[in-house]
Structure 1
Amino acid sequence: MLFRALCHGLCLGLALMANAQAASVVFLNPGLSDETFWVSYTRFMQAAADNLGMQLQVQYGERQAERQLAQVRALLRSPHKPDYLMLVNEQYAAPEVMRLARGSGIKLVLVNNGLTRSQADAVKAQPGSYAPLLGALITNDEQAGYQMLRDLVASLPATSGPIELLAFSGISTTPASQLREQGMRRALADFPQVRLRQVVSGGWSRQRAFEQAQILVQRYPKVRLVWSANDEMAFGAMQAFEAAGRVPGRDVLFSAINSSPEALRARIDGRLSALVGGHFSLGGWAMVMLHDDALGLPLDRDGHTVRTLPVLQPIDPAKARRWLALQERADYGIDFRRYSAQGKASDYRYPFLTSPVDY
């Protein structure tokens, strides 16, 4: 009996390992294939896939919703469909992907941008028209926008009188951009001395923000604070202010969201006075959960399928130096297997769901 039980356990273990190794994921990356954030996002996912023994294929949408939909159609016609399709609700494209994938047998998971309320209501009203979502992992964008403005104001030397602020939002049809701006506006209520002069949509683009800031720096010569929803726009605005003779970190203070090497270095040298980052890690944590789903482990043991993860966190100069060093490692210095529920007690909860992982 003991021998038979041991054999059964061994066979079950081997089967579970085979299932995990066979798990295949296609990630519909909405960004540009040379865009720092989305490339780093992919790198972190690949590090997780390699560590967990999973197959990962990434298809870049090059910020074109129609291109991504064409990729989905081609994928659904392929005889080699993946087990999982990971997508981002960039430019509100997720419901159409869900409609196309109906009946395909592919499990869908959303990352970064979840469904809007109206989209979720539409899906709920006609569930038979859409492939179901296995789950959604969303970044804490509203809190990040809020925290970044608070940190930016805290960086100012003691001063009296009104303080003028400019803000560069991302793309209006991207939930993450909307939430970051909402957080910034919420923080404004804490600082009545800060006057928001204008919010512009920089489209996540350095060049576009530079061109906009060239006009704004002349229109609002007393601006002391510049809030940006990503680092590319921050650096574009910074270039325009520098061309106008304003010194970043002294005459005007800048903030950004991202943890690109350029942003981390700017935080170290003081050109960025406030920085929030870490959202590139969300795809990697999603891979951990898909690895567990492939093993038959329940992901909704806490009763939730839509979760907001606190991946965005403030980055001070010390953390910036540490993250710069870790980014030079292919595995980011992380053993993703230790975060898996495999072999853990039934009440195990993923730690990255409740607190940021400090690399």
Structure 2
Amino acid sequence: MTTLLQFFSVILLALGLLGCKDANELQLNSVTTASTPSVSAPAPTATEQKTVALVMKTLTNPFFIAMERGARRAERQLGVQLQVKVAAQETSIEQQIQIIDDLIGAGVHAIIIAPGDSQRLVPVLKKAADAGIKLVNVDNRLDPQTVQQAGLAPVPFLSVDNEKGAYAAAQALALHAAPDTQAIVLEGIRSADNARQRQRGAERALADNPAVQLVASETAHWKIDEGYSVTQELMTRHPKVQLVYAANDMMALGAIQYLQEQGRTDVKVGGYDAIDEAVAAIRKGQMSVTVDQQAAEQGFQGVVLAQRLLQGETVPLMTLIDARLVTASTLH
């Protein structure tokens, strides 16, 4: 595990480099299309400056650093005052709830929430809505049934088609699989809607390939260290596995570290998010595929939607932006 800690340290050092590159600069192939038109930024007005809070899961995942960068771009263009709040880890749901409660007390005008859990944050968001705070949901969708049961009006949602993106990635991962190839899936947090969608997409793609047998699917909670340990556990039980699909890049990088330590160069790994470290791994031949869901664009468009709600406009209840498949061929 010493080498894993060293590997994680390199990733943390690399986070500081993300600010110099926008996710949209990558020239990649589109695998999904927007179901509603992309939201354009309204021109700044001379009205009172509004405070918008972006509440994310963590900054230990470069995906959310890119999301903040996009939100900061919208802040500059729209003239809003942006506050960015994050929990310690993607599993720190109670901390996210406390953050929202604190923002209610602080009197912010709008909250953009990337929830760590699709159900448990609904009650505190209902409290925010009752206080007159506008809400926008990004990345991971709040559970519609839980929202309805709480008496909360539907919250505008902005993301990508997670199931379609994961299907495309897992399909590419298994494209040239030999007969009787075994595969495993590393899931995200099971109570998160985007984790469930990615699991469904990946499992459907693997099932559609008659050469592939899915032998195990376990959660690694979006984390690099759990990606390592769960891969170790599953590969010990299923040593013939040759395909590993992870529902995010952090788990995929943990899996890669374990495989490198074991000298398993015969195993192909896929991920989701297209963080810089994953793209670098693809360039090096350590990883086969990932999905760019345009984190910076999600952050930007989330602030745009919040601003429009504050101006009294009606916005779409669902906006899906493009996701892009990233492979070695798309990077050339």
Any gaps of 5 or more consecutive residues in structure 2? 1-42
Alignment match of 1:311 (pick from 308, 315, 322): 322
Q: Aligned partners of 1:320, 1:47: CA distance in 2, in Å?
A: 26
Any conservation in 2 of the 1:289–1:299 contact (CA below 8 Å)? yes
Counterparts in 2 of 1:70 and 1:94: CA distance versus 1, 3 Å: closer
Question: Once structures 1 and 2 are overlaid, which stretch shifts more, 190-199 or 40-49?
Answer: 40-49
> In structure 2, what is the equivalent of residue 77 of structure 1?
105
Structure 1 position 276, deviation (Å) = 0.7
Alignment match of 2:301 (pick from 285, 291, 310): 285
Alignment match of 1:242 (pick from 260, 266, 269): 260
Question: Once structures 1 and 2 are overlaid, which stretch shifts more, 142-151 or 66-75?
Answer: 66-75
Q: Aligned partners of 2:64, 2:278: CA distance in 1, in Å?
A: 15
> In structure 2, what is the equivalent of residue 97 of structure 1?
124
Structure 1 position 53, deviation (Å) = 2.3
Give the TM-score of the pair, scaled to structure 1.
Answer: 0.73
> In structure 1, what is the equivalent of residue 25 of structure 2?
none
> In structure 2, what is the equivalent of residue 356 of structure 1?
none
1:206-355 correspondence runs (5 A): 206-247=224-265, 251-280=266-295, 281-300=297-316, 305-307=317-319, 309-317=320-328, 320=331
Structure 1 position 318, deviation (Å) = 6.6
Corresponding letter in the other structure for 1:208: E
Any conservation in 2 of the 1:88–1:94 contact (CA below 8 Å)? no
> In structure 2, what is the equivalent of residue 8 of structure 1?
none
SS in 2 for 1:22: coil
Counterparts in 2 of 1:271 and 1:100: CA distance versus 1, 3 Å: same
Counterparts in 2 of 1:122 and 1:138: CA distance versus 1, 3 Å: farther
SS in 2 for 1:34: coil
Any conservation in 2 of the 1:110–1:135 contact (CA below 8 Å)? yes
Structure 1 position 180, deviation (Å) = 0.2
Aligned CA-pair RMSD: 2.2
Cα deviation code 1:260-301 (max 9, x no counterpart): 11111112222111111124131211222333344444324x
Identity rate, percent: 25
> In structure 2, what is the equivalent of residue 330 of structure 1?
none
Structure 1 position 103, deviation (Å) = 2.7
Structure 1 position 85, deviation (Å) = 0.8
Any conservation in 2 of the 1:113–1:139 contact (CA below 8 Å)? no
For the pair shown, which has the larger CA radius of gyration, 1 or 2? 1
> In structure 2, what is the equivalent of residue 44 of structure 1?
70
Any conservation in 1 of the 2:61–2:250 contact (CA below 8 Å)? no
Counterparts in 2 of 1:122 and 1:297: CA distance versus 1, 3 Å: closer
Counterparts in 2 of 1:316 and 1:23: CA distance versus 1, 3 Å: farther
Do structure 1's residue 136 and structure 2's residue 157 form an aligned pair?
Answer: yes
Q: How many residues align?
A: 286
Question: Once structures 1 and 2 are overlaid, which stretch shifts more, 60-69 or 202-211?
Answer: 60-69
Q: Aligned partners of 2:216, 2:86: CA distance in 1, in Å?
A: 33
Q: Which has the higher contact order (CA 8 A, sep 6+)?
A: 2
Q: Aligned partners of 2:303, 2:134: CA distance in 1, in Å?
A: 13
Corresponding letter in the other structure for 1:96: P
Corresponding letter in the other structure for 1:206: I
> In structure 1, what is the equivalent of residue 209 of structure 2?
191
Any conservation in 2 of the 1:167–1:200 contact (CA below 8 Å)? yes
Q: Aligned partners of 2:231, 2:155: CA distance in 1, in Å?
A: 42
> In structure 1, what is the equivalent of residue 61 of structure 2?
35
Any gaps of 5 or more consecutive residues in structure 1? 1-14, 322-359
